Amino acid sequence: MHILQVTPYFYPHFGGVESHVLGLSENLIKLGHEVEVVTSRYSRMPEIEKFNDIKITRLPQWINMYNTPVVTAIQSFVRRSHADVVHVHSPPPFTERFAAKGAKESNKPLVVTHHCDLELKGIFGNIAVNLYQSMLGKYPLELADKVISTTKSYATTSRSLWDIDVDVVPNAVDIDRFHPRNDGRHIRDKYAKENESLALFVGRLVPHKGIGILIRAIKNTQNGKLLIVGDGPYLPWLKKLAKKLNIQERIVFVGPISDYWLPAYYAATDVVILPSTSRLEAFGIVGLEGMATGKPLILSDIPGVRDVISNEEGFIVEPLDPEAIKTSIEKIWNSPEMAKQMGKKGRERVERLFSWEKVSKDIEKIFYEITSK
């Protein structure tokens, strides 16, 4: 089967959707399919290239608004493509609409994965989102042969998906790359004193990730450090906050790291924390990477994210509540045997539900279902 993946951004652009499309494409190729990705072009990237046997075409952006590429050429590209199925990943917006129109014009089966809802700050942001959803955003979802959501709780609470028949297929993680056997001792030696506890945050440094709440939680713990891996516009403010709270020695801004080193950071730490506060965080691949490495999790109780774990693999806490995060951190740091059992349960859950072997086959089944009609 020739599968065309359509995504606003793609590797090496960093983000959860980009990571998902890359992993899915690689594993569909392992299942014997031909996979092509069409995406936006930025910087001086090549227009056409191959990466891990994935053919990538990057089309020029007509305009970029709010970090959203508007690539009108996607419509004609999809229309001319020889793909057996078109798989669109949303958001950001516009890309999904152009792809859907191209699929309709050429009578190609269409699958849309709705990774999260749109959200912009302020009154004008809300107006813009509502206008897009009412005038343009419904079209791809209504046209699609199948719509995928990554969790049941997100699908049932999403305004975009209320009247849509949704299939739930979760995100996935490479369970061989992220594994309890990984060695993180050199990371611990670099950042921690002997027997000092470590917590880990991985992600873009943006407001909806809740990192400021997490830093305030660390302030209230008795000891231990927080490693923050990632970069983003929020970095200067976060550094000022750590200094203001007089805990700059306990907050380590690691910065962006290469994919090669990421498994070692998970292996080095005692707990992985995802304190997100917004529906822009609809799943949290970071949680899967932590569980696959055998680490307990602390996750915000928001739709989507809360589905990653049950009560056995970590703690689900109220968002925007530093005291709740602090209490959970101390429980894990002060109870090594409990933390070990949580990590063991998490690894078992990932192997059972979130491996790429399982998830890619679930999506392949959907492709076969709609192409056989």
What tens digit of pLDDT does each residue of 229-259 get? 999 999 999 999 999 999 999 999 999 999 8
Give me the phi and psi of 49, to 5 degrees please. -160, 175
Same-domain pairing of 91 and 221: no
Does the pLDDT value for residue 366 go beyond 70?
Answer: yes
* Contact criterion met (CB below 8 Å) for 215 and 253: no
- Domain-embedded: residue 304: yes
Does the pLDDT value for residue 51 go beyond 90?
Answer: yes
Does the pLDDT value for residue 213 go beyond 70?
Answer: yes
Q: Which two tokens stand for residue 283?
A: 């799943």
Same-domain pairing of 147 and 249: no
Does the pLDDT value for residue 283 go beyond 70?
Answer: no
Q: Distance between CA atoms of 87 and 73, rounded to whole angstroms? A: 17
Q: Distance between CA atoms of 135 and 140, rounded to whole angstroms? A: 11
Same-domain pairing of 221 and 88: no
Same-domain pairing of 137 and 212: no
- Domain-embedded: residue 179: no
* Contact criterion met (CB below 8 Å) for 23 and 169: no
Q: Which two tokens stand for residue 222?
A: 């008795």
Instruction: State the pLDDT at residue 245.
Output: 97
Q: Which two tokens stand for residue 351?
A: 């192997």
Report pLDDT digits (tens) over 2-41: 999 999 999 888 788 899 999 999 999 999 999 999 999 9
Q: Is 254 helix (H, G, I), strand (E, B) or coil?
A: strand
Instruction: State the pLDDT at residue 122.
Output: 61
- Domain-embedded: residue 180: no
User: Domain residues for 61?
Assistant: 2-172+355-371
Same-domain pairing of 283 and 367: no
CATH, residue 210? 3.40.50.2000
- Domain-embedded: residue 58: yes
Same-domain pairing of 116 and 190: no
Q: Is 168 helix (H, G, I), strand (E, B) or coil?
A: strand
Phi-psi region of 144 (alpha: psi -120 to 50; beta: other; left: phi over 0): beta
Same-domain pairing of 363 and 259: no
Does the pLDDT value for residue 135 go beyond 70?
Answer: no
Instruction: State the pLDDT at residue 15.
Output: 80
How many structural domains comprise the chain? 2
Report pLDDT digits (tens) over 324-361: 999 999 999 999 999 999 999 999 999 999 999 999 99
pTM value is 0.88
DSSP state of 229: E
DSSP state of 47: S
* Contact criterion met (CB below 8 Å) for 95 and 6: yes
Same-domain pairing of 289 and 364: no
Report pLDDT digits (tens) over 157-177: 887 888 889 999 999 999 999
The mean predicted confidence, pLDDT, of the chain is 91
Same-domain pairing of 163 and 14: yes
Same-domain pairing of 51 and 33: yes
Same-domain pairing of 147 and 163: yes
- Domain-embedded: residue 177: no
Residue 278: which pLDDT band, with cuts at 50, 70 and 90? confident
- Domain-embedded: residue 178: no
Same-domain pairing of 153 and 189: no
Q: Please give the span between the terminal C-alpha atoms of the chain, in angstroms, as a whole number.
A: 15
Q: Distance between CA atoms of 290 and 151, rounded to whole angstroms? A: 18
Report pLDDT digits (tens) over 181-204: 999 999 999 999 989 999 999 998
Instruction: State the pLDDT at residue 128.
Output: 60
Within 8 A by CB and 6+ apart from 347, the residues are: 180, 291, 292, 293, 294
- Domain-embedded: residue 294: yes
- Domain-embedded: residue 104: yes
Q: What is the mean pLDDT of residues 152-160?
A: 83
* Alpha helix ranges (H) inside 64-205: 73-80, 95-105, 122-132, 138-143, 152-157, 185-191
Instruction: State the pLDDT at residue 290.
Output: 96
Does the pLDDT value for residue 92 go beyond 80?
Answer: no
Q: Considering only CA atoms, give the Rg of the chain.
A: 21
